[in-house]
Structure 1
């Protein structure tokens, strides 16, 4: 029998499946304090929490029995996942249960903005009757731009169409075919700015989305736009938003999430509506969360079936040891490829050559998918959900195997493509030397993948290499190695440099001033492979 501790306020109805299961004994202590939890945690196989409890390394230090930590919610910020992983404890969450609640709250905020309901209510509370002051706008025949077409974005789009709005959708993984199937128009971020009467955000907070709606973006928007953020604090630059409200460029805004929660007193404006992070706060959502977590606990402990694990890949220990030398190389190949490609590819192809082609390379394929998707999705993707997110975003994935060695005992190549272009990166392991990137598109090269790589495409003429060295030296950056690849003498060529520290925008701008240099990219790579933790190259 498994003992389960519910250490937070969780829906009784949602926990019914666990309570009625003969193999589970449930203790509910929703107000347990951290010290008491530390004293009794070793009596339990499963810990179920929400956001009140913080699971620290210290809490887990002396537990030998705990097998599973289940977070009844989306985020796991209050769980030390690395510490749990080191202890062999599975961490799971319930990522899909709040979809409808978040979509409906978004629409509630949009309607409140359109009809100035909170302002009118406040006026009535002080016995004023100001009908003309609170004239609103209709949603009918307006254009809504949805930034982020995941589950919540799709549900918002469905509701917007019911109001007969024109729906523009942006997502790095949204294809034309998928947009057509959803009955919306695929758009760029700029197109959403130019054409939208309402803009709503439904993306994770990543390096790419941090301050996505900033001063420069608000300079592009349609005057009188209304902005809603029920996703993550920080995606909308709050200072820029207040300036936009003050100038009238932004007619109104509604925020459910903030950089700092609760927000400071300065985040106020007559046309700004705020709610205290209520997106998932419905009775139904909390029941769904509890039901989802209950079923996940049963499936893991009774049937060895895992759907929403944060830190548990589906891979045997034996195969993990075989593939271990190639794990970091695979992730770095993917990181280089997606930094070249930038946008989401429509097609991902992996090629295995040589002895490695005869092995189960699933963990390597998952690692590359994780490396690609994490560029846009950050730590929401791991080895467990990599294929699920790939399918959810409508991306094509294929693996090809060839026993031929093509010059290397083992060789891995990753190709990303869409209808306009493609990028290919190849790598291998050299005995006694280690990982090497040996192909970038059509160029053969020999580069040790390190944390800071500088890629330069140039004309193969005298003086270019010297100019590059001078510019980097002038900026007090030391060059570790420089490798050059070319297809023909005097034609186009590439060079890849390893740097002791990252080059800033000034270095890149100075290099681009050289006429012979056609492209410059700074590539950041993770240098320590981890199955589960957020890769160091993706930073908010």
Structure 2
């Protein structure tokens, strides 16, 4: 099997290149590519490793026909069009923990710098002025720190601040009472944080909900003398408002590591009093740069070589331990979906995937997505397990995932049901020997059949003579039967035949099969 090819288009630790190579990937290290240059070569790669410089736009993704994964060495993915990546079936990963400590420490450093006016005092002292009385600072101890965002980085800032004897109040809609208690922080509303905090630091991603969360109106709700720190993302804080409030004295000091436009060669904040700025250094330590580079290389290699998904932003995570356990079930789920999809010739209204037995104890999200992919692929060749849920949602298809704790006749079973305007059809499968997908039930009728490259599916009235007439037609058409599986709901009722054949069945022969007396549906299938 050919080795996956990975492109590193930003500056990463040389160790990342070594990891890709050691794990069995071909890797090209080409930092500094211009957008046109990236578009010209990206079609050759299954993986793209980036930092913040490379822009993974919809235009790039449109020509990245082989691309399976984009790995961002760092937290922020503002430079990746995740919606476009998802629609093209590309997994987007980041490394949220590799530089969390470094960024949190930088926020604390800026708090100290702003509180004690360290940069100005340094410049004054080295200029020989010795202006000791000019730089009157404030202590952090026993002050109230307001956290906006208490996730990976915010929680580390909280721990460090508590170590400095600060009181911490946190606004985060996703912060549970239990987690707040564990951290020793007080949960609060945004209004409460604004009103009570002596220092405010933001640690949220930039989304439509968080954009400008420290707007001019919200900044005016803070107490006079507040100090603001932003080491998260430009756009979370109204820069012009901060400048005006620094000038007026309402804000006593501000520390900014990130800006709306970067690189920030010019900014409305620059020159404001009591302002400390750094050039996006939050993750700029030797340890962090090494950590995120190694982490993104490991994650991408795992996905490309084993199917394990870690820190994905648009697909369920699958641990390296679970990936081999899921692999045969992924095969079964896809085949069941494909079986149902190939038999569906009208608009799909709903898809239900049920899991019973041991499989119900696994992480079934990827199984649901690959089953949905199988259902949709006969109609949409561009669908894959990453974009299948999006495509289903866009088409108004209701998707249900159900786990049953009850025991079954098999160790594990997956039942997939497709509802259209006319009917609901179900197909159930299991694994024989832990790895061989088999069909065990169709529309409530028990049957036992393997999947094969060439199959014939027939529903018919259970009457004598059908098998003989079908066998005669296949023989006359020079089609050899490999296996023949039958099932029925009751004697003389509805019957199902699944026939494995050695070669494709022509349209002409299918027409003759459909014409057999009692045949209600006949379809050639392939897996």
Q: Give the TM-score band, short-chain normalised.
A: 0.5 to 0.7
Give the structure 2 partner of residue 183 of structure 1.
184
| 1:239 to partner: Cα distance | 2.3
Q: Per the alignment, in what secondary structure is the counterpart of residue 13 of structure 1?
A: helix
Is this contact kept in 1: 2:5–2:25, CA < 8 A? Answer: yes
Inter-partner Cα distance in structure 1 for 2:193 and 2:58: 44
Aligned residue in 2 for 1:129: 130
Match of 1:74 in 2: 75
What is the correspondence of 1:127-526 to structure 2 with a 5 Å cutoff? Answer: 127-263=128-264, 264-267=266-269, 268-313=271-316, 317=334, 325=349
Structure 2 contact 5–45 (Cα < 8 Å) conserved: yes
Q: Structure 2 length normalisation: TM-score? A: 0.59
Which structure 2 segments of 5+ residues have no match? 318-329, 342-346, 370-384, 390-400, 406-418, 423-527
Q: State the Cα distance separating 1:56 from its structure 2 match.
A: 3.9
Larger radius of gyration: 2
Higher mean C-alpha deviation, range 133-142 or range 275-284: 275-284
1:50 is aligned to 2:35 = no
List per-residue Cα deviations over 1:87-136 (Å, max 9, x = no partner).
44333222322211110110010000111001112223433211110011
CA 1:137–1:90: 2 relative to 1, 3 Å:
same
SS in 1 for 2:71: strand
For 2:20 and 2:208, the matched residues in 1 are separated by 39
Q: 1:39 Cα deviation (Å)?
A: 4.1
SS in 2 for 1:27: strand
Secondary structure of residue in 2 paired with 1:200: strand
Q: Distance in 2 between matches of 1:217 and 1:114?
A: 22
Distance 1:239 1:185, change over 3 A: same
Which residue in 1 is equivalent to 2:321? none
Q: Distance in 2 between the 1:88 and 1:364 partners?
A: 13
User: How does the TM-score come out when normalised to structure 1?
Assistant: 0.57
* C-alpha distance in structure 1 between counterparts of 2:404 and 2:123, whole Å: 67
Count of aligned positions = 353
- Is the 1:254–1:272 contact (alpha carbons within 8 Å) kept by the matching residues of 2? yes
In 2 relative to 1, CA 431–31 (structure 1 residues): closer, same or farther, beyond 3 Å? Answer: closer
Distance 1:145 1:38, change over 3 A: closer
Over 3 Å counting, the alpha-carbon distance change for 1:29 and 1:108 in structure 2 is same
Write out per-residue CA displacement over residues 201-221 of structure 1, whole angstroms, 9 at most, x where no aligned residue. 111223332222233323332
Alignment deviations for residues 457-502 of structure 1 (CA, whole Å, 9 cap, x no partner): xxxxxxxxxxxxxxxxxxxxxxxxxxxxxxxxxxxxxxxxxxxxxx
Superimposed CA distance per residue, residues 356-390 of structure 1 (whole angstroms, 9 cap, x where no aligned partner): 878999669999xxxxxxxxxxxxxx999x9xxxx
- Alpha carbons of structure 1 residues 399 and 181: separation in structure 2 relative to 1, 3 Å: farther
Alignment deviations for residues 4-61 of structure 1 (CA, whole Å, 9 cap, x no partner): 222221111344322323x223222224444444444344332222233333444455
Match of 1:116 in 2: 117
Aligned-residue Cα RMSD (Å) equals 3.7
1:397-429 CA-to-partner distances (Å, cap 9, x unmatched) read: x98989xxxxxxxxxxxxxxxxxxxxxxxxxx9
* Structure 1 residues 248 and 64: alpha-carbon distance in aligned structure 2, compared to 1, 3 A threshold: closer
Q: Deviation at 1:326?
A: 5.2
CA distance in 2, matches of 1:57, 1:253: 36
CA distance in 2, matches of 1:148, 1:383: 28
Map of 1:91 onto structure 2: 92
> What's the CA shift for 1:76?
3.1
Task: For residue 169 of structure 2, give the secondary structure of its aligned residue in structure 1.
Answer: strand
Q: Pick closer, same or farther for the CA change 1:70–1:178 going to 2, 3 Å.
A: closer
How far apart are the structure 1 equivalents of 2:169 and 2:403? Answer: 36
User: CA, structure 1 residues 122+175, in 2 after alignment: closer, same or farther (shift >3 Å)?
Assistant: same
* Partner Cα distance (1:72, 1:207) in 2: 23
Please give the alpha-carbon distance, in whole angstroms, between the structure 2 residues aligned to 1:207 and 1:45: 31
